[in-house]
Chains A and B, each alone.
Chain A
Amino acid sequence: MREITFAQALDEAVAEEMRRDERVITVGTDFTGNPQKEFGEKRVRFTPISESVLTGMGLGAAACGYRPIVNWRMVTFCFVAMDQIVNQASKIRYMFGGQADFPVTYRCTTGGGMGLAAQHSQSPYSMWMHVAGLKIILPSSPSDAKGLLKSAIRDNNPVVSFECSRLNAVTGAVPDSDHVVPLGVAEVKRSGKDVTVVGLAFYVQEALAVADALAKENICVEVIDPRTLVPLDVETIRASVRKTGRLVIVDEAPPMCSAASEIAAMVVEDAATFKALKAAPQRVCAAPVPVPYSPTLEQAALPDRAAIVAAIRRVLQ
């Protein structure tokens, strides 16, 4: 096991999959390091800034036997390719009756907290959850980042990889071997009996920090990371809530129609889990505004540890 950063783990995943399968190609406006040196100019392509055609080209090349990785860079830019994501990528397999597979991975950074202001601080994964047909990964650690991205590249469907900007420099242990994390399997990051906290991406780390602090008050927080939003391993979350009777969901997207909303709904609509609830589930999300620039405003817009603690105390009352 080595300690590497989240960003290094993602780069390793791509390089290893490109070594493993020559049908894997990658396109984008820039790359970290010099992957063309190892993989050549055919498989690593610098592109014009043309998100729409790149997104659709991924599908077209995938239909013809390749496994493209299309780098949107920041999630902001994928909205330029809305037609290709919503009308094509998410629907193409089903509407053609399953005639072909479309193994394409779309990578993008996501989230706020970087002082990048409204357009470049978005966390719109629930938009793509809503559009049936896309798989979505959202790792919170270097190990999961590597393992999930490798699974995404091997998956036979369009997968969107949301890569949290605030985690880029975070380091963690990553196995040396061919480390693959299956899609659709949540992980209990910390076991506890009093309250279930479901965190997403950066907020898994924050929830773990809060759990550490509250342990001193003998409050045992269970922290769950869904890791993939589609497919969503709701049963692991429900099982935890049936144990603790309390649910807090933490994410940096605004609450309306969010991943947090969906998780809350899926938990409470299960009768056995609903009966086990001792308190109303709580969401800790961003303020419903475009993320502002000034540090004081950005901090006010995004969830923080105090907000997580407050929500935990509410459900424990």
Chain B
Amino acid sequence: MNIDHITLLHKMMLIREFDELALKLRGSGKIYGTVHPYVGQEAVAVGICANLTNADRVTSTHRGHGHCIAKGADVKRMMAELFGRVDGYCKGKGGSMHIADFAVGMLGANGIVGGGLPLATGAALAAQLDGKGNIAVCFFGDGAVAEGEFHEALNISAVWRLPIVFVCENNHYAANNAVAIQHFTADLAVHASAYGIPGVAVDGNDVLAVRETSRGAIERARRGEGPTLLECKTYRWYFHAMRATPPPETRPADEIAAWKARDPIAKLITELISRRELTESEVGTMLREVRTQLDEAVAFAEASPFPDPKDVLVDMYG
């Protein structure tokens, strides 16, 4: 058994089951606000974070649960945050869109498309000044490529040769609008050429390919050779966001079916079984363990108290 591969699979399963559960919990009114499911994109966060340590920093997006789990956040405290409880990562102040775990280098989900790019660039500046070979990774979607912050961040990172990897998760939709409406090209890695940095595209549904390709970009950054734009082509299985009820699906049914047929988790399972690194029954066992882990997370969250209203002003200033 290859432990690394099993860890990748476990993390991807945990992300998928976490978000499937989050959608159910939102539907039943146990959690609030909005949920942006990461289902279908698990290979991106897991493949990239497999190359990172806690001293490497990442920034995330509104669709941030996967990045949190991949970077090493505890699903109990994540779940408590979704439940709005004091044991959540943000003591219930942030919710789904603002989960962060600074202790593992996860500098936060972000409700603004493109908003995390400057923050990650600042973390990369800090890493460069520290000079210890740590790096920053910035996750963002195809929508962010149309934001000014993307271009400002790539430019200054290139000029200063900052140790950062810009990970564009091209899930082909910016909210409800297809890439063709947003961009002149379907290949977003081409933007790298304008900034004189490597632009690399990879199958974002192949976790082993993501891990391998991103390793090159990450090692390059660690060596002080500057940033890379890494485009991971992937697809979200569900809607952009869900509040009380799932919104109507507007994307073509055949397109969704084609991408579901390229399920990144099923792909890894098939690969590992063919390599005799895993059996069907072990997959079943892993899935049961993941679901048990998440049941425990929900129990932890439900047992955690709501924040005391008198604490509404706490944490404003340090």
Q: Which A residues fall within an 8 A CB radius of B?
A: 25, 42-43, 45, 47-48, 50, 52-66, 68, 83-84, 87-88, 92-103, 132-133, 135, 156-157
B242 at interface by CB-CB < 8 Å = no
Q: Are A52 and B318 in contact (CB under 8 A)?
A: no
Given contacts A57-B121, A84-B118, contact A97 B156 (CB under 8 A): no
Q: Are B156 and A84 in contact (CB under 8 A)?
A: no
B272 at interface by CB-CB < 8 Å = no
Q: Are A96 and B98 in contact (CB under 8 A)?
A: yes
Q: Are B156 and A53 in contact (CB under 8 A)?
A: yes
Residue ID in chain A nearest B114 by CB atoms: A83
Scan residues 153-187 of chain B and give those whose CB is less than 8 A from a CB of chain A: 153, 155-156, 159-160
Q: Are B125 and A61 in contact (CB under 8 A)?
A: yes
Distance in angstroms between the alpha carbons of A61 and B123 in the assembled complex: 5
Q: Which of B86-94, B197-205, B211-219 contacts A (4 or more CB under 8 A)?
A: B86-94
Q: Are A48 and B155 in contact (CB under 8 A)?
A: yes
- Which residues on B sit within 8 Å (CB–CB) of A62? 122
| The residue from B103, B114, B118, B318 contacting A57, defined by CB atoms under 8 A apart | B118
Distance in angstroms between the alpha carbons of A102 and B107 in the assembled complex: 12
- Which residues on A sit within 8 Å (CB–CB) of B317? 93, 133, 135, 156-157
- Which residues on B sit within 8 Å (CB–CB) of A156? 317-318
Residue ID in chain A nearest B313 by CB atoms: A94
Q: Are A92 and B315 in contact (CB under 8 A)?
A: no
Residue ID in chain A nearest B119 by CB atoms: A60
Of all A-B residue pairs in the complex, the 9 with the closest CB atoms, nearest first, are: A56-B118, A60-B122, A64-B126, A98-B315, A97-B90, A57-B122, A53-B152, A101-B318, A156-B318
| The residue from A83, A84, A99 contacting B102, defined by CB atoms under 8 A apart | A99
17 A-B pairs, CB-CB below 8 angstroms? A48-B159, A52-B152, A53-B121, A53-B149, A54-B156, A56-B117, A60-B57, A60-B59, A60-B124, A62-B122, A63-B122, A64-B126, A64-B127, A88-B115, A97-B315, A103-B318, A133-B316
Q: Are A50 and B156 in contact (CB under 8 A)?
A: yes
Scan residues 126-163 of chain B and give those whose CB is less than 8 A from a CB of chain A: 126-127, 129-130, 136, 148-149, 152-153, 155-156, 159-160
- Besides A96-B100, A98-B91, 17 new A-B residue pairs in contact (Cβ under 8 A), listed by A number: A25-B129, A45-B160, A52-B152, A53-B155, A59-B122, A61-B126, A64-B122, A68-B122, A83-B149, A84-B118, A87-B112, A96-B98, A97-B88, A101-B318, A102-B318, A133-B316, A157-B318
B264 to chain A, nearest CB (A): 29
Residue ID in chain B nearest A60 by CB atoms: B122
B108 at interface by CB-CB < 8 Å = yes
- Which residues on B sit within 8 Å (CB–CB) of A48? 152, 155-156, 159
Best-surrounded residue of B102, B114, B126, B160 (most CB of chain A within 10 A): B126
Given contacts A53-B117, A92-B108, A97-B89, contact A60 B148 (CB under 8 A): no
A44 to chain B, nearest CB (A): 12
Q: Are B122 and A61 in contact (CB under 8 A)?
A: yes
Distance in angstroms between the alpha carbons of A25 and B122 in the assembled complex: 12
Q: Which B residues fall within an 8 A CB radius of A?
A: 57, 59, 88-94, 98, 100-103, 107-108, 110-112, 114-115, 117-127, 129-130, 136, 148-149, 152-153, 155-156, 159-160, 314-318
Distance in angstroms between the alpha carbons of A58 and B167 in the assembled complex: 21
A245 to chain B, nearest CB (A): 32
Q: Are A87 and B111 in contact (CB under 8 A)?
A: yes
Distance in angstroms between the alpha carbons of A69 and B107 in the assembled complex: 20
Q: Are B118 and A97 in contact (CB under 8 A)?
A: no
Distance in angstroms between the alpha carbons of A132 and B315 in the assembled complex: 12
Best-surrounded residue of B91, B123, B159 (most CB of chain A within 10 A): B123
- Which residues on A sit within 8 Å (CB–CB) of B122? 56-64, 68
- Which residues on B sit within 8 Å (CB–CB) of A157? 317-318
B76 to chain A, nearest CB (A): 15
A22 to chain B, nearest CB (A): 10
B165 to chain A, nearest CB (A): 15
Q: Are A59 and B119 in contact (CB under 8 A)?
A: yes
B94 to chain A, nearest CB (A): 5
A194 to chain B, nearest CB (A): 37
| The residue from A47, A64, A84, A103 contacting B57, defined by CB atoms under 8 A apart | A64
Distance in angstroms between the alpha carbons of A59 and B122 in the assembled complex: 7
Distance in angstroms between the alpha carbons of A234 and B90 in the assembled complex: 31
- Which residues on B sit within 8 Å (CB–CB) of A53? 117-118, 121, 149, 152-153, 155-156
Residue ID in chain A nearest B108 by CB atoms: A96
B182 to chain A, nearest CB (A): 18
